[in-house]
């Protein structure tokens, strides 16, 4: 049955307007984005099939163009629209991080890092450069690697921090495997970066390991701080 034939209080768009976006299920939100379904299949039906196929909204958003466009009803136009939505979300979060005290809200940092790095198919190392008030100066990818490794050079990181006159940094890298648990190499790298940045009086605030679904903080694990005093 087409959504237009549903009772008004069950249609996703009308429900959103009356109750707010938070009241909708993942499938209903995705159906609003899709707008239309396929012959004999409503937009909500298509949305449910997509979620079942990819497992979650997060995995759907991370899908490559080739993978997504294999699905009937999801062509290049839909892929482009989805990427535009994600990029707008990233930019909105980046603007938020530039505001005073935003970095005191860990959820905002995590959301931004997941959107920024979580979907990368190669290991990617990004940095949030901050001023003395911990407001965002720049967000830059400094190193890219293979499926499971990115070569990070502390000297290059320190050089870029000086060029931007940064007072503090938050670094992050993704695990394309989908497992966000920090490795022994991640912990060792964090220690190396802390020592290098201490020499130029730049504080390493945190190191996050990121996947599409989560961002694990090494600072919260007690693995940052010894070299920042």
Q: What is the pLDDT of residues 121-130, one digit of tens each?
A: 888 999 999 9
Global pTM reads 0.67
| Interval 12-35 mean pLDDT | 86
| Interval 130-158 mean pLDDT | 82
Instruction: Count CA atoms closer than 13 A to 36's CA, side-chain side.
Output: 6
pLDDT of residue 34: 86
Please say whether the beta carbons of 78 and 84 come within 8 A. no
The mean of the pLDDT values for the chain is 84
The band of 148, judged by pLDDT with boundaries at 50, 70 and 90, is low
pLDDT of 49 strictly over 80 = yes
Kindly report the number of other CB atoms within 10 A of residue 164's CB atom.
17
**In whole angstroms, how far apart are CA 153 and each of 76, 189, 197, 225?**
38, 9, 12, 20
pLDDT of 187 strictly over 80 = yes
pLDDT of residue 14: 87
Which CATH class for the 104-221 domain? Answer: alpha beta
pLDDT of 7 strictly over 60 = no
Please say whether the beta carbons of 218 and 209 come within 8 A. yes
DSSP-assigned beta bridge partners for residue 129: 138, 169
Q: Where exactly are the structural domains of the chain?
A: 3-74, 104-221
| Interval 86-110 mean pLDDT | 74
Give the helix/strand (H/E) hosting 128.
strand 124-130
DSSP-assigned beta bridge partners for residue 204: 169
The band of 4, judged by pLDDT with boundaries at 50, 70 and 90, is low
pLDDT of residue 229: 45
Please say whether the beta carbons of 75 and 69 come within 8 A. yes
What's the residue count for the chain?
Answer: 229
How far is residue 25's CA from residue 187's CA, in Å, rounded to a whole number?
38
CA angle 105, 222, 173 (to 5 degrees): 65
pLDDT of residue 226: 47
pLDDT of residue 129: 94
pLDDT of residue 8: 56
How far is residue 88's CA from residue 81's CA, in Å, rounded to a whole number?
11
Q: What percent of the chain has pLDDT over 90?
A: 26
Give the pairing of strands 203-210 and 168-174: parallel
DSSP-assigned beta bridge partners for residue 203: 168
How far is residue 6's CA from residue 114's CA, in Å, rounded to a whole number?
36
How far is residue 200's CA from residue 178's CA, in Å, rounded to a whole number?
34
Nearest to 95 by CA among 106, 104, 86, 108: 108
pLDDT of 228 strictly over 70 = no
pLDDT of residue 227: 44
């Amino acid at each position: 049955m087409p959504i237009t034939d549903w009772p008004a209080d069950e249609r996703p768009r009308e429900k959103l307007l009356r109750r707010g976006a938070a009241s909708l299920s993942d499938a209903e939100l995705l159906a609003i984005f899709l707008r239309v379904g396929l012959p004999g299949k409503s937009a909500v039906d298509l949305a449910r099939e997509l979620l079942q196929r990819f497992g979650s909204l997060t995995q759907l958003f991370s899908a490559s163009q080739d993978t997504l466009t294999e699905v009937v009803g999801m062509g290049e136009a839909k892929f482009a629209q989805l990427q535009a939505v994600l990029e707008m979300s990233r930019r909105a979060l980046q603007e938020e991080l530039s505001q005073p005290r935003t970095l005191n809200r860990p959820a905002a940092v995590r959301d931004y890092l997941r959107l920024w790095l979580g979907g990368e198919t190669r290991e990617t190392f990004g940095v949030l450069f901050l001023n003395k008030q911990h407001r965002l100066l720049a967000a830059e990818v400094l190193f890219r690697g293979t499926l499971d490794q990115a070569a990070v050079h502390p000297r290059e990181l320190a050089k870029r921090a000086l060029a931007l006159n940064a007072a503090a940094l938050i670094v992050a890298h993704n695990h394309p495997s989908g497992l966000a648990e920090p490795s022994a190499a991640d912990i060792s790298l964090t220690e190396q970066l802390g020592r290098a940045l201490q020499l130029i009086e730049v504080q390493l605030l945190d190191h996050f390991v990121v996947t599409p679904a989560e961002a694990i903080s090494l600072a919260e694990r007690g693995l940052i701080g010894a070299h920042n005093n």
